[in-house]
Amino acid sequence: MSLGFRSMHGIIKEALHYANYKGVSILAAASNEGSRYGIAWPARDPSVICIHAADGYGSRCNFTPTSEEGRDFSVLGCAVKSFWPTHLGKGEQVLRTGTSSATPIAAAIAANFLEYIGARILKQPGRSRFMEDKHLMDFVRSNVSADGSQA
């Protein structure tokens, strides 16, 4: 989810609850407010994987809020080469920066990782249940960042 609010929104909370009930992992953008307001909602919801932005060297971008140990991840979110509709007057190719740019990259990494597990380790490629397995994502999240570092 490439969005964030200062307070919880009921309809989105219901959708998160339903996704969690169905075992679907949700990733959400942390915020671009730095430490001024902290992590936005829904990224601060315990059922959501919070995504922060890092530069090309893996360093935290100055606009991303302080992460919570063992629960947040950082991926490229500074100067991400993107394509923008020409009718919006920005040309075809632009550089985008923000946790909203990092979140789809994190989702792609998670999808590829889960597909790899399904194909190589569990020998069941293309099984969508691995793409949506919240328990597997929670296991990966807790073990990849067990030392307190961000993935």
Q: What whole-number distance in Å separates Cα of residue 118 and Cα of residue 45?
A: 28
Mean pLDDT on 27-39: 91
81 neighbors 93 (Cβ within 8 angstroms): yes
Q: What tens digit of pLDDT does each residue of 36-90 get?
A: 888 999 999 988 989 999 999 989 899 989 877 666 788 999 999 888 777 776 6
DSSP state of 41: B
Confidence of residue 15 (pLDDT cuts 50, 70, 90): very high
Whether the ω angle into residue 42 lies within 30 degrees of 0, i.e. cis, is yes
CATH numbers and ranges of domains, the chain: 10-141 (3.40.50.200)
Strand 72-76's sheet: what is its strand order? 26-29, 48-54, 72-76
Type of residue found at 71: R
Q: What tens digit of pLDDT does each residue of 89-126 get?
A: 666 788 889 999 999 999 998 888 877 777 766 666 55
